[in-house]
Amino acid sequence: MAVGIDERIEESKNWFERAAQHLPLYKGYKEKELRREADKIQREYVAKRLETSHQKLDEVQLELSRRGTLEVMGILDTTIRKLRTVRDRVQFADYGYAGLFDTTKVDLAKLNELYQFDVQLQEEARGVEELAAAISADSPSLRADIDLLDERITALDSHFAEREQLITGAGR
Protein backbone atom coordinates (compact mmCIF):
# COMPACT_ATOMS: atom_id res chain seq x y z
CA MET A 1 0.00 0.00 0.00
CA ALA A 2 2.93 2.38 0.63
CA VAL A 3 3.79 2.53 -3.06
CA GLY A 4 0.17 3.28 -3.98
CA ILE A 5 -0.07 6.19 -1.56
CA ASP A 6 3.23 7.67 -2.72
CA GLU A 7 2.19 7.36 -6.36
CA ARG A 8 -1.18 9.00 -5.69
CA ILE A 9 0.52 11.88 -3.89
CA GLU A 10 3.03 12.30 -6.73
CA GLU A 11 0.22 12.33 -9.32
CA SER A 12 -1.67 14.99 -7.38
CA LYS A 13 1.13 17.57 -7.60
CA ASN A 14 0.39 20.61 -9.75
CA TRP A 15 2.89 22.25 -12.10
CA PHE A 16 4.11 24.68 -9.44
CA GLU A 17 4.85 21.90 -6.97
CA ARG A 18 6.71 19.94 -9.64
CA ALA A 19 8.84 22.98 -10.48
CA ALA A 20 9.38 24.04 -6.86
CA GLN A 21 10.51 20.56 -5.77
CA HIS A 22 13.90 21.38 -7.32
CA LEU A 23 14.49 24.21 -4.81
CA PRO A 24 16.46 22.82 -1.83
CA LEU A 25 14.49 24.43 1.02
CA TYR A 26 11.11 23.79 -0.56
CA LYS A 27 12.02 20.23 -1.50
CA GLY A 28 12.81 19.25 2.12
CA TYR A 29 9.70 20.98 3.41
CA LYS A 30 7.47 19.38 0.78
CA GLU A 31 8.92 15.89 1.33
CA LYS A 32 8.05 16.17 5.01
CA GLU A 33 4.55 17.36 4.25
CA LEU A 34 3.95 14.55 1.77
CA ARG A 35 5.26 11.94 4.23
CA ARG A 36 2.97 13.35 6.93
CA GLU A 37 0.03 13.12 4.54
CA ALA A 38 0.91 9.53 3.61
CA ASP A 39 1.16 8.67 7.31
CA LYS A 40 -2.25 10.21 7.93
CA ILE A 41 -3.81 8.24 5.07
CA GLN A 42 -2.27 5.04 6.41
CA ARG A 43 -3.65 5.63 9.91
CA GLU A 44 -7.09 6.41 8.50
CA TYR A 45 -6.99 3.05 6.73
CA VAL A 46 -6.08 1.28 9.99
CA ALA A 47 -8.84 3.13 11.85
CA LYS A 48 -11.34 2.08 9.18
CA ARG A 49 -10.36 -1.59 9.63
CA LEU A 50 -10.92 -1.21 13.37
CA GLU A 51 -14.26 0.54 12.78
CA THR A 52 -15.41 -2.37 10.61
CA SER A 53 -14.47 -4.73 13.45
CA HIS A 54 -16.38 -2.56 15.89
CA GLN A 55 -19.53 -2.69 13.76
CA LYS A 56 -19.34 -6.48 13.50
CA LEU A 57 -18.98 -6.84 17.26
CA ASP A 58 -21.95 -4.53 17.78
CA GLU A 59 -24.02 -6.90 15.63
CA VAL A 60 -22.92 -9.90 17.70
CA GLN A 61 -23.69 -8.02 20.91
CA LEU A 62 -27.18 -7.17 19.62
CA GLU A 63 -27.81 -10.83 18.77
CA LEU A 64 -26.63 -11.92 22.23
CA SER A 65 -28.97 -9.36 23.76
CA ARG A 66 -31.91 -10.68 21.76
CA ARG A 67 -31.14 -14.20 22.94
CA GLY A 68 -30.69 -13.14 26.56
CA THR A 69 -27.11 -14.42 26.69
CA LEU A 70 -26.02 -11.94 29.31
CA GLU A 71 -22.99 -13.76 30.72
CA VAL A 72 -20.94 -13.19 27.56
CA MET A 73 -22.31 -9.72 26.81
CA GLY A 74 -20.30 -8.07 29.59
CA ILE A 75 -17.07 -9.60 28.33
CA LEU A 76 -17.86 -8.59 24.76
CA ASP A 77 -18.76 -5.07 25.88
CA THR A 78 -15.34 -4.68 27.51
CA THR A 79 -13.66 -5.83 24.29
CA ILE A 80 -15.77 -3.42 22.21
CA ARG A 81 -14.83 -0.51 24.46
CA LYS A 82 -11.15 -1.43 24.23
CA LEU A 83 -11.42 -1.64 20.44
CA ARG A 84 -13.12 1.78 20.27
CA THR A 85 -10.34 3.30 22.39
CA VAL A 86 -7.60 1.88 20.18
CA ARG A 87 -9.44 2.99 17.03
CA ASP A 88 -9.67 6.54 18.38
CA ARG A 89 -6.00 6.58 19.37
CA VAL A 90 -4.99 5.52 15.87
CA GLN A 91 -7.37 7.86 14.09
CA PHE A 92 -6.54 10.97 16.10
CA ALA A 93 -2.83 10.37 16.75
CA ASP A 94 -0.30 13.07 16.07
CA TYR A 95 0.98 12.64 12.55
CA GLY A 96 4.42 14.09 13.10
CA TYR A 97 3.79 17.81 12.69
CA ALA A 98 6.43 20.04 14.24
CA GLY A 99 6.16 23.78 13.87
CA LEU A 100 9.04 26.21 13.93
CA PHE A 101 8.90 26.76 17.70
CA ASP A 102 7.80 23.27 18.82
CA THR A 103 10.15 21.56 21.26
CA THR A 104 9.89 18.20 19.47
CA LYS A 105 11.16 18.28 15.90
CA VAL A 106 10.34 15.39 13.58
CA ASP A 107 12.70 15.09 10.62
CA LEU A 108 12.06 13.28 7.34
CA ALA A 109 13.93 10.13 8.42
CA LYS A 110 11.75 9.91 11.53
CA LEU A 111 8.62 10.50 9.45
CA ASN A 112 9.64 7.66 7.14
CA GLU A 113 10.18 5.40 10.15
CA LEU A 114 6.81 6.45 11.53
CA TYR A 115 5.13 5.67 8.24
CA GLN A 116 6.69 2.18 8.14
CA PHE A 117 5.50 1.66 11.69
CA ASP A 118 1.96 2.51 10.59
CA VAL A 119 2.25 0.07 7.68
CA GLN A 120 2.93 -2.69 10.25
CA LEU A 121 -0.11 -1.55 12.20
CA GLN A 122 -2.16 -2.09 9.05
CA GLU A 123 -1.34 -5.81 9.12
CA GLU A 124 -2.25 -6.07 12.79
CA ALA A 125 -5.53 -4.25 12.17
CA ARG A 126 -6.37 -6.67 9.36
CA GLY A 127 -5.81 -9.53 11.81
CA VAL A 128 -8.21 -7.93 14.29
CA GLU A 129 -10.75 -7.39 11.51
CA GLU A 130 -10.53 -11.02 10.40
CA LEU A 131 -11.00 -12.30 13.95
CA ALA A 132 -13.94 -9.97 14.55
CA ALA A 133 -15.56 -11.10 11.29
CA ALA A 134 -15.29 -14.73 12.41
CA ILE A 135 -17.03 -14.15 15.75
CA SER A 136 -20.60 -15.38 15.84
CA ALA A 137 -23.24 -15.45 18.55
CA ASP A 138 -23.82 -19.09 17.52
CA SER A 139 -20.23 -20.15 18.10
CA PRO A 140 -19.73 -22.81 20.78
CA SER A 141 -16.34 -21.24 21.51
CA LEU A 142 -17.63 -17.66 21.69
CA ARG A 143 -15.94 -16.89 25.00
CA ALA A 144 -12.57 -18.17 23.76
CA ASP A 145 -13.02 -16.28 20.47
CA ILE A 146 -13.67 -13.03 22.34
CA ASP A 147 -10.67 -13.64 24.61
CA LEU A 148 -8.41 -14.18 21.58
CA LEU A 149 -9.73 -11.01 19.93
CA ASP A 150 -9.21 -9.09 23.17
CA GLU A 151 -5.59 -10.26 23.27
CA ARG A 152 -5.04 -9.10 19.69
CA ILE A 153 -6.55 -5.69 20.46
CA THR A 154 -4.32 -5.36 23.52
CA ALA A 155 -1.26 -6.27 21.43
CA LEU A 156 -2.24 -3.71 18.78
CA ASP A 157 -2.68 -1.07 21.47
CA SER A 158 0.73 -1.87 22.97
CA HIS A 159 2.36 -1.72 19.57
CA PHE A 160 0.69 1.60 18.85
CA ALA A 161 1.94 2.99 22.18
CA GLU A 162 5.47 2.56 20.79
CA ARG A 163 4.56 5.12 18.13
CA GLU A 164 4.58 8.01 20.57
CA GLN A 165 8.03 6.98 21.68
CA LEU A 166 9.18 7.11 18.06
CA ILE A 167 8.07 10.74 17.79
CA THR A 168 9.08 12.10 21.18
CA GLY A 169 11.31 9.50 22.77
CA ALA A 170 8.78 9.28 25.63
CA GLY A 171 6.02 6.77 26.26
CA ARG A 172 2.45 7.38 27.34
**134-172 confidence digits (pLDDT tens):** 999 999 999 999 999 999 999 999 998 887 777 666 544
pLDDT score recorded for residue 104: 46
pTM flag (> 0.85): no
Could you please report the per-residue DSSP string of 78-137?
HHHHHHHHHHHHHHTS--S---TT-SS---HHHHHHHHHHHHHHHHHHHHHHHHHHH--T
pLDDT at 143: 95
Nearest to 49 by CA among 168, 160, 143, 162: 160
The predicted structure's pLDDT at residue 102: 43
| Rounded-to-integer distance, Cα 75 and Cα 147, Å | 8
Q: What is the pLDDT of residues 60-110, one digit of tens each?
A: 999 999 998 888 999 999 999 999 999 999 888 865 544 433 444 556 677
Q: How many Cβ atoms from other residues are within 10 Å of residue 43's Cβ?
A: 24
- Structure confidence at residue 123 (pLDDT): 92
